[in-house]
Structure 1
Amino acid sequence: MPMEHTNCSAASTVVETAIGTMLTLECILGLMGNAVALWTFFYRLKVWKPYAVYLFNLVVADLLLATSLPFFAAFYLNGKTWKLGHTPCRVLLCLLTCSRGVGVAFLTTVALDRYLRVVHPRLRVNSLSLRAAWGISSLIWLLMVVLTPQNLLTCKTTQNSTECPSFYPIGETEVSATCQEVLFFLQVLLPFVLISFCNGGLIRTLQKRLRESDKQPRIRRTRVLVAVVLLLFGLCFLPSVLTRVLVHIFQEFESCSVQQAIVQASDIAGSLTCLHSALSPVIYCFSNPAFTHSYRKVFRSLRGRRKAAGSPSSNLRDCYS
């Protein structure tokens, strides 16, 4: 966080325990949900399209994000006491920040891909090969890796080895801190605007084209998927944007109660930015029936039911095609 007041403790056992518990649940759900999705990609999908490539990379990013969460959960459950030293803190923070940024980038790429294919089907970009889709995915990973090391190399740590900047690394200089803030807002607000625009255009186009009664369920399914994507993005990232704005507004206030409230709100909002890794499987289920079938099999297995015999395999036919 950019607001530091060494003489004002922001400790709250209730808030820290709640955040640690939330991160633990996000880790469990994220690992389980995305592991099933990964299995589905390898063993259930018979046809791969660029859309599937982008979703696959989203799954990988969410899995990487989930693997970093147990360490931050322990950090909060131990009263914001870091026991692993500076280097692991920075490495894990880099992993969290990079995978979170990659996840947002691929959510945006999926929305943009569907928008272009449905609203502007004659554009040459819609004829991209799988190799081109993998190339675009590699460029996204490379871009996010290049942007992320600021958080690893310039993040400020204190003399106390038990502290870790957690979700909000602080730049060593005012310039680096400002760059990090600008980068964060661009990584959240720009994708949100693009996703909203693309999904809005997608819905309008489908409503014009699919007026037949037998195709109305397809529109309803698409509407639900659009609503889920926007709700997921808004729930996970907009609170973080709001709290970081409040930090800058109230950073000069001397009141400890105000400082504590802002710090605690920022910690809660920061933990919500990782929630999308646990909720992304909802998007997969609406995108392809193969994922729905895989998750149902897991639920049946967990509930002790016998596996349904002779279930047909699904090809990659998303709800926008």
Structure 2
Amino acid sequence: MAYPNCSAASPVVDTAMGIMLTLECVLSLTGNAVALWTLFNRLKVWKPYAVYLFNLVVADLLLATCLPLFAAFYLKGKTWKLGHTLCQVLVFLLTFSRGVGVAFLTTVALDRYLRVVHPRLRVNLLSPRAARVISSLIWLLMVALTPQNLLTHKTTQNSTEGPSFYPTREVEASATWQEVLFFLQFLLPFGLISFCNTGIIRTLQRRLRESDKQPRIRRARALVAMVLLLFGLCFLPSVLTRVLEHVFRECESCSVQHVIVQASDIAGGLTCLHGALSPTIYCFSNPAFTYSYRKVLKSLRGRRKTAEPASSNFRDSYS
């Protein structure tokens, strides 16, 4: 059954979406550019953890480059005049880069968990070269898992429909597979990351009982809180709205469908926020990132640069 045509533009929601996506783009480009500079200029030795963070930064930057056209689409009242092919490529790139970002967030959490909770496992002896191979496989896997119908879905040639966070309207096998991937893409990583971070906190509490080591536990707790906040704020609204879309799939009330479309747009826009929030995770991972971000902020305020940390050797805050 096709959805009723209730996707009329809402000026307030569309303007808010355009502004939100623009801010997300600026924050993501700035924060991840600083992170990229830190990785190449502040780290003397690259370990697997740094390799995974580098790929996370690249995925977030790719996502950020998609946002200006999305923002323009909403600011123009959901009017797209750049052609259907570019629209398809843009939607594919956004979905792909968002999925890669979530995958590397999960990889970073799993790598940290193994090194802290199970330090004697041989997997912790992986070389940076092996980490690069794993990262390449993750990119290829996400290419395969990203729904290909985002590139092949057909509309009329003169259609002004553009990139939308509202799901594909066809009820077919590919659309069903797309829905399954959508839920697994967020729920499975969230469960795995929560499990890994909970194990890390318990292990640190058991090992670091001295008062002088308590700041490391507080830093670990802050990192866990940031990851949970990232997933809760960025992805939970999208999951909930997608559930509502299925609940009211057969509802023919145009007012109900209109509200769901607008909610889907807002929730979809929030999923792109993780690219702007990821730099806060880097800050809690290593002092080198904290120093870089403080240096940028204080330079913008016209202050002198902060004291450089004693070591630039990359180790996360609990290894």
TM-score band (shorter)?
over 0.9
Tell me how far apart the structure 2 counterparts of residues 121 and 313 of structure 1 sit (CA, whole Å): 23
Identify if the C-alpha distance between structure 1 residues 237 and 9 changes in structure 2 by more than 3 Å, giving closer, same or farther.
closer
Matched, 1:17 2:15: yes
Letter in 1 for 2:146: T
Letter in 1 for 2:3: E
Give, in angstroms, the shift of residue 167 of structure 1.
Answer: 2.5
Letter in 1 for 2:268: G
Give, in angstroms, the shift of residue 177 of structure 1.
Answer: 0.7
Identify if the C-alpha distance between structure 1 residues 254 and 64 changes in structure 2 by more than 3 Å, giving closer, same or farther.
same
Identify if the C-alpha distance between structure 1 residues 261 and 181 changes in structure 2 by more than 3 Å, giving closer, same or farther.
same
RMSD: 1.7
> How does the TM-score come out when normalised to structure 2?
0.95
Match of 2:313 in 1: 315
Tell me how far apart the structure 2 counterparts of residues 40 and 163 of structure 1 sit (CA, whole Å): 40
Give, in angstroms, the shift of residue 306 of structure 1.
Answer: 3.7
Summarize the alignment of residues 75-114 of structure 1 with structure 2, pairs less than 5 Å apart: 75-114=73-112
Equivalent position SS for 2:251: coil
Tell me how far apart the structure 2 counterparts of residues 310 and 246 of structure 1 sit (CA, whole Å): 50
Letter in 2 for 1:58: L
Tell me how far apart the structure 1 counterparts of residues 211 and 304 of structure 2 sit (CA, whole Å): 37
Give, in angstroms, the shift of residue 282 of structure 1.
Answer: 0.2
Residues 268-287 of structure 1: per-residue CA shift (max 9 Å, x gap): 00000000000100001111
Equivalent position SS for 1:138: helix
Match of 1:27 in 2: 25
1:167–1:270 CA contact under 8 A, matched in 2: yes
Equivalent position SS for 1:234: helix
Matched, 1:256 2:254: yes
Tell me how far apart the structure 2 counterparts of residues 167 and 278 of structure 1 sit (CA, whole Å): 19
Match of 2:3 in 1: 4
Summarize the alignment of residues 109-128 of structure 1 with structure 2, pairs less than 5 Å apart: 109-128=107-126
Query: How many correspondences in the alignment?
Result: 319
Equivalent position SS for 2:36: helix
Match of 1:71 in 2: 69
Letter in 1 for 2:211: S
Identify if the C-alpha distance between structure 1 residues 3 and 17 changes in structure 2 by more than 3 Å, giving closer, same or farther.
farther
Summarize the alignment of residues 249-288 of structure 1 with structure 2, pairs less than 5 Å apart: 249-288=247-286
Residues 192-231 of structure 1: per-residue CA shift (max 9 Å, x gap): 1100111111111111111111111100100000110111
Summarize the alignment of residues 145-156 of structure 1 with structure 2, pairs less than 5 Å apart: 145-156=143-154
Match of 1:190 in 2: 188
Letter in 2 for 1:175: A
Tell me how far apart the structure 2 counterparts of residues 151 and 301 of structure 1 sit (CA, whole Å): 46
Identify if the C-alpha distance between structure 1 residues 18 and 216 changes in structure 2 by more than 3 Å, giving closer, same or farther.
same
1:90–1:151 CA contact under 8 A, matched in 2: no
1:53–1:133 CA contact under 8 A, matched in 2: yes
Segments of structure 2 that go 5 or more residues without pairing to the other structure are none
Tell me how far apart the structure 2 counterparts of residues 313 and 157 of structure 1 sit (CA, whole Å): 56
Tell me how far apart the structure 2 counterparts of residues 30 and 186 of structure 1 sit (CA, whole Å): 25
Give, in angstroms, the shift of residue 40 of structure 1.
Answer: 0.5
Identify if the C-alpha distance between structure 1 residues 211 and 264 changes in structure 2 by more than 3 Å, giving closer, same or farther.
same
> How does the TM-score come out when normalised to structure 1?
0.95
Letter in 2 for 1:198: C
Segments of structure 1 that go 5 or more residues without pairing to the other structure are none
The alignment-based identity, stated in percent, is 81
Tell me how far apart the structure 2 counterparts of residues 70 and 129 of structure 1 sit (CA, whole Å): 38
Residues 262-311 of structure 1: per-residue CA shift (max 9 Å, x gap): 11100000000000000100001111111111111111221122445776
Tell me how far apart the structure 2 counterparts of residues 76 and 83 of structure 1 sit (CA, whole Å): 12
Match of 1:230 in 2: 228
Equivalent position SS for 1:16: helix
Give, in angstroms, the shift of residue 55 of structure 1.
Answer: 0.6
Question: Which residue, out of 133, 136, 145, partners 1:135?
Answer: 133
2:21–2:68 CA contact under 8 A, matched in 1: yes
Tell me how far apart the structure 2 counterparts of residues 270 and 83 of structure 1 sit (CA, whole Å): 21
Tell me how far apart the structure 2 counterparts of residues 160 and 257 of structure 1 sit (CA, whole Å): 27
